[in-house]
Chain A
Amino acid sequence: MANVLHIVVCAGIVPDPLQTLEPVTTPAGPGLKNEMVLPAVLDPWAACALYEAAHLAAGNPGSKVWLVSLGPKAKLQQVMMTVAQKVNFELVPIDGPIGGFTDAHATAAVLAETIAALPGLERDRLLLFGGWESATRGSGVTLQLVGERLGITDQFQGVDQIALRDDGSFEVLERVEGGKHQASVCGGTPAVLGWATGNLAEPRNNPQVGMANMRTMMPALQKAKPATLAANGLRYASVSLPKQQRTTRVVKDMTADAIASELAEWIGAE
Chain B
Amino acid sequence: MESILVLTHAEESGTELSKGSLEAVTAGKELAARLGASFTIGIVAAHAPAGVLASAGARVLAVQGEAFAQARYASDAAACEALCRAANASIVLAPSSSRMARVAAGVAHRLGGVIDTHITSLGGSEGVEATRWFYRQRMEGVISRDARPWFLLLDAGTHAAFSGPAGEVHVEQVAVELPTQRTIVSGFREPPQDAQTIRPDARLLFVAGAGWTKKQPDGEIHAARAGELILGFLRVTGASLGSSKSLVDQGSENQPVLPFLTHMNQVGQTGSTPRHPKGLSTCCHGEEPHVVGWRFIGERRAISLDPNCGWTRGKADVVYIADAFEVMARVTELLAARKG
Residues of A within 8 A of B1 (CB): none
* Contact A186-B334, Cβ < 8 Å, known A140-B117, A160-B263, A235-B145: no
- Check A179–B197 contact: CB distance below 8 A: yes
- Check B184–A184 contact: CB distance below 8 A: yes
* Contact A197-B263, Cβ < 8 Å, known A154-B183, A259-B320: yes
- Residues of A104-139 contacting chain B, CB below 8 A: 104-105, 135-139
Q: Does B13 count as interface, using CB distance less than 8 angstroms?
A: no
Most A CB contacts (10 A, CB to CB) among B71, B139, B321 go to B139
How many residues of chain A have a CB within 8 Å of chain B? 88
Closest Cβ of chain A to B268, distance in Å, is: 9
- Check A144–B189 contact: CB distance below 8 A: no
Residues of A within 8 A of B196 (CB): 178-179
**Complex interface: stretch among B49-57, B61-69, B287-295:** B287-295
- Check A138–B142 contact: CB distance below 8 A: no
* Contact A248-B315, Cβ < 8 Å, known A21-B135, A101-B134, A256-B323: yes
Across the interface, B143 reaches (CB within 8 A) one of A44, A180, A235, namely A235
Q: Does A89 count as interface, using CB distance less than 8 angstroms?
A: no
Residues of A within 8 A of B312 (CB): 248, 250
* Contact A17-B288, Cβ < 8 Å, known A184-B183, A242-B140, A256-B330: yes
- Check A186–B141 contact: CB distance below 8 A: no
* Contact A149-B109, Cβ < 8 Å, known A259-B320, A263-B327: yes
- Check A248–B317 contact: CB distance below 8 A: yes
- Check B145–A157 contact: CB distance below 8 A: no
- Residues of A155-184 contacting chain B, CB below 8 A: 155-158, 160, 171, 173-184
Q: CA–CA, A242 to B147, complex, Å?
A: 28
**Looking across the interface, which residue of chain A has its beta carbon closest to that of B183?**
A186
Q: Mark B179-194, 1 if CB is under 8 A from A, else 0.
A: 1001111111111000
Q: CA–CA, A21 to B18, complex, Å?
A: 35
* Contact A177-B97, Cβ < 8 Å, known A233-B146, A259-B303: yes
Closest Cβ of chain B to A70, distance in Å, is: 17
Q: CA–CA, A188 to B187, complex, Å?
A: 19
**Looking across the interface, which residue of chain A has its beta carbon closest to that of B273?**
A138
Q: Does A26 count as interface, using CB distance less than 8 angstroms?
A: no
- Check B188–A183 contact: CB distance below 8 A: yes
Q: Does B144 count as interface, using CB distance less than 8 angstroms?
A: yes
**Looking across the interface, which residue of chain A has its beta carbon closest to that of B236?**
A267
- Check B311–A267 contact: CB distance below 8 A: no
Q: CA–CA, A105 to B104, complex, Å?
A: 13
Q: Does A246 count as interface, using CB distance less than 8 angstroms?
A: yes
Q: CA–CA, A79 to B199, complex, Å?
A: 37
- Check A249–B317 contact: CB distance below 8 A: yes
* Contact A270-B338, Cβ < 8 Å, known A148-B109, A248-B314: no
**Looking across the interface, which residue of chain A has its beta carbon closest to that of B292?**
A17
- Check A242–B105 contact: CB distance below 8 A: no
Residues of B within 8 A of A233 (CB): 114, 145-147
Q: CA–CA, A18 to B333, complex, Å?
A: 38
Residues of A within 8 A of B117 (CB): 139-141
Across the interface, B330 reaches (CB within 8 A) one of A138, A247, A260, namely A260
Q: Mark A245-270, 1 if CB is under 8 A from B, else 0.
A: 11111111010110111011011101
Q: CA–CA, A174 to B104, complex, Å?
A: 16
- Check A157–B102 contact: CB distance below 8 A: yes
- Residues of B219-250 contacting chain A, CB below 8 A: 237, 249
- Residues of B79-103 contacting chain A, CB below 8 A: 97-99, 101-103
Q: CA–CA, A256 to B332, complex, Å?
A: 12
* Contact A154-B182, Cβ < 8 Å, known A177-B98, A197-B270, A241-B139: yes
Closest Cβ of chain B to A41, distance in Å, is: 11
* Contact A137-B134, Cβ < 8 Å, known A154-B183, A236-B143, A264-B331: yes
- Check B98–A248 contact: CB distance below 8 A: no
* Contact A144-B316, Cβ < 8 Å, known A183-B186, A250-B321: no
- Check A138–B133 contact: CB distance below 8 A: yes
Q: Does A12 count as interface, using CB distance less than 8 angstroms?
A: no
Q: Does A201 count as interface, using CB distance less than 8 angstroms?
A: yes
- Check A259–B135 contact: CB distance below 8 A: no
Most A CB contacts (10 A, CB to CB) among B135, B199, B204, B314 go to B135
Residues of B within 8 A of A138 (CB): 118, 133-136
- Check A185–B186 contact: CB distance below 8 A: yes
- Residues of A20-36 contacting chain B, CB below 8 A: 20-21, 23, 30, 32
- Residues of A194-251 contacting chain B, CB below 8 A: 196-197, 199-201, 232-242, 245-251
Residues of A within 8 A of B110 (CB): 148
Most A CB contacts (10 A, CB to CB) among B117, B204, B237 go to B117
Q: CA–CA, A54 to B299, complex, Å?
A: 42
Q: Does A82 count as interface, using CB distance less than 8 angstroms?
A: no
Shortest 8 CB-CB contacts between residues of A and residues of B: A179-B198, A260-B330, A141-B105, A201-B252, A187-B182, A256-B326, A144-B105, A245-B314
Instruction: Show 21 residue pairs from A and B whose CB-CB distance is below 8 angstroms, ordered by the A residue.
Output: A44-B269, A138-B135, A153-B179, A155-B73, A155-B106, A183-B185, A196-B263, A197-B263, A197-B270, A199-B252, A233-B147, A235-B143, A238-B141, A238-B142, A245-B314, A247-B314, A248-B319, A251-B322, A256-B326, A260-B334, A268-B335
Knowing that A248-B311, A261-B334 touch, tell me 7 more A-B residue pairs with CB under 8 angstroms. Answer: A137-B134, A154-B182, A154-B183, A176-B99, A235-B143, A249-B318, A256-B326
